Amino acid sequence: MVKSSIPSPSGWQNIPGILNRLVAGDFDGDGTADLAGLTANGGIYYSTDFVRWQNIPGMLVRLVAGDFDGDGQADLAGLAGNGGVYYSTSFTNWVYATGVLANLAGSSE
> Would you tell me which residues interact with Ca ion (CB under 5 A)?
26, 28, 30, 32, 34, 67, 69, 71, 73, 75
CB 36 within 8 Å of CB 26: no
Please give the span between the terminal C-alpha atoms of the chain, in angstroms, as a whole number: 38
Please, which residue, 23 or 75, has the CB nearer to Ca ion? 75
Name the minimum Å distance from CB 108 to Ca ion.
Answer: 18
| Nearest distance in Å: CB 29, Ca ion | 7
Question: What is the chain's length?
Answer: 109
Nearer to Ca ion, 52 or 109 (CB): 52
Taking alpha carbons only, the member of 58, 56, 40 closest to residue 90 is: 56
Q: How far is the CB of 32 from Ca ion (least distance, A)?
A: 5
Judged by beta carbon, residue 30 or residue 109, the one nearer Ca ion is 30
CA-wise closest residue to 20 among 44, 2, 4:
44
